[in-house]
């Protein structure tokens, strides 16, 4: 009899749905913001799971600083009032940051000159289609052994507001000198997810009655259904970069904590598809309230599916086809270069990789003469020249030379022919990841 009861109980437990495994109207009884993620449901509320090949999406050994500095998981869930998120990892005397890109047409392009939390990270502003860029406007951050994380809101340009735990959000962290099982956790009201200053950026309260229960819920800004998420581990000082990001970025990290890092990958969290409150959104997608009764991991996609191979490219074979030329005769010099390592056009991810580049001319004393192109800033006939360029185009098609971007006609920035002498062409993979130079001679 005892054996039969045990078997029956095991069967019922197997068939029963997991408790609290989905988003809900109110999760406040379950969610404890204490710096540990026991209240998140393993699997359902993870951002990283296993890909179609059975490989875990966030490697446990990809940090350039070793196992004591490693991002492991992002967890997320929500109810009608709060977004709950956490970052798990190992941290020793450094910082962990989680970025949220919540609204279009605003956010940071880089952190290098912020008035607070200045770090050596840039964010990919290029887009294959509208909305594909990454420009975080809110981020949570902490440092090793700090138990009270900050919530930082981007205001404009290099200005952010750095808020402590208080009426606008709840947060806790438990990172401690490389100990495992630690995390940074947040519970942020929806109005402050979209504006940590409390303005809400279009969020609004709506009084609803669902299932015989009436209360007020926060509706999302009109037209907003998704947010983007990425975490980084950084050095502890202003201006430092970091050894790890989650999800993996394309250009990777290096051991040098001062090196600039480009964040070009992120998770996309789809918040609202359903009409939970019986009041459809005016734009016809969902109801403007983050959906109840869904497993958050089922709503996660990525710009580029992790895990992926990060590649730091370097310049090779910078050559000038005319080492000496006379601009008075209408001559110029074309320069050519290759990027290494080589790419495979048969691999979709390689076809997606881009690179930002600059090329400048200096005289032999090091004085600047002219910019031939600078990242995305050069425009010809009112059209961008195409930087960042697809890497395969540079290697395979010599797009730069074919379109005339890599020709110097011997003139300075004012259009005057420069004096005779030795000049230096400099080509840079931005943001200053690698550079190469070549001397040429101008003859008058």
Six-digit token string for 289: 């309230």
Q: How many CB atoms lie within 10 A of CB 39?
A: 19
pLDDT digits (tens, 9 = 90+) for 251-261: 889 899 988 89
Q: How many Cα atoms within 13 Å fall on the side-chain side of residue 248?
A: 22
| Residue predicted with more confidence, 266 or 336 | 266
Position 375 scores a pLDDT of 60
Position 197 scores a pLDDT of 52
Position 271 scores a pLDDT of 97
Position 199 scores a pLDDT of 53
pLDDT band at 196 (very low <50, low <70, confident <90, very high): low
Cis peptide preceding 388, ω within 30 of 0:
yes
Selection from 24, 82, 28 nearest residue 210 by Cα: 24
Could you tell me which residues are beta bridge partners of residue 356? Answer: 430
Low-confidence winner among 57-71, 227-241, 347-361 (lowest mean pLDDT): 347-361
Q: For 380-395, give the DSSP string.
A: ETTEE--PSEEHHIII
Q: Average pLDDT of 147-156?
A: 94
Position 46 scores a pLDDT of 97
Burial class (CB in 10 A: 0-12, 13-18, 19+), 235: buried
Six-digit token string for 197: 């200053």
């Amino acid at each position: 009899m005892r054996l039969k009861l045990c078997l029956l109980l095991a069967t019922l437990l197997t068939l029963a749905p997991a408790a609290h495994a989905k988003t809900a109207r109110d999760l406040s009884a379950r969610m404890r913001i204490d710096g540990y993620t026991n209240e998140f449901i393993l699997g359902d509320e993870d951002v990283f799971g296993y890909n179609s090949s059975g490989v875990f999406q966030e490697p446990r050994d990809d940090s350039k600083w070793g196992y004591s500095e490693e991002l492991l998981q992002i967890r997320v869930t929500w109810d009608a009032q709060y977004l709950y998120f956490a970052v798990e990892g190992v941290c020793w005397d450094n910082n962990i940051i989680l970025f949220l890109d919540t609204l279009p047409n605003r956010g940071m392009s880089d952190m290098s000159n912020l008035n607070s939390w200045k770090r050596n990270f840039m964010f990919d502003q290029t887009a294959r289609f509208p909305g594909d860029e990454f420009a975080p406007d809110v981020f949570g951050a902490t440092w090793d052994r700090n138990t009270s994380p900050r919530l930082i809101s981007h205001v404009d340009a290099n200005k952010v507001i750095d808020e402590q735990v208080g009426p606008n959000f709840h947060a806790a962290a438990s990172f401690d000198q490389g100990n495992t099982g630690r995390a940074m956790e947040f519970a942020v009201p929806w109005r402050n997810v979209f504006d940590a200053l409390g303005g809400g950026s279009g969020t609004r309260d709506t009084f609803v009655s669902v299932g015989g229960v009436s209360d007020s819920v926060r509706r999302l800004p009109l037209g907003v259904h998704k947010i983007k998420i990425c975490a980084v581990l950084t050095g502890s000082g202003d201006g430092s970069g970091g050894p790890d990001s989650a999800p993996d970025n394309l250009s990777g990290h290096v051991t040098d904590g001062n090196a600039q890092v480009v964040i070009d990958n992120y998770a996309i969290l789809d918040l609202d598809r359903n009409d939970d409150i019986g009041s459809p959104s005016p734009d016809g997608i969902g109801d403007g309230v983050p959906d109840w009764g869904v497993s958050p991991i089922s709503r996660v996609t990525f710009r580029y599916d992790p895990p992926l191979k990060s590649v730091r490219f370097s310049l090779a074979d910078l050559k000038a086809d005319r080492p000496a030329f006379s601009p008075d005769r209408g001559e110029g010099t074309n320069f050519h270069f290759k990027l290494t390592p080589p790419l495979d056009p048969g691999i979709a991810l390689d076809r997606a990789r881009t690179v930002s580049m600059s090329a400048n001319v200096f005289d032999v004393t090091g004085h600047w003469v002219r910019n031939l192109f600078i990242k995305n800033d050069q425009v010809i006939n009112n059209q961008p020249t195409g930087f960042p360029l697809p890497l395969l185009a540079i290697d395979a098609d010599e797009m730069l030379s074919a379109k005339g971007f890599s020709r110097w006609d011997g003139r300075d920035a004012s259009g005057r022919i420069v004096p005779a002498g030795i000049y230096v062409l400099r080509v840079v993979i931005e943001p200053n990841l690698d550079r190469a130079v070549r001397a040429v001679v101008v003859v008058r």
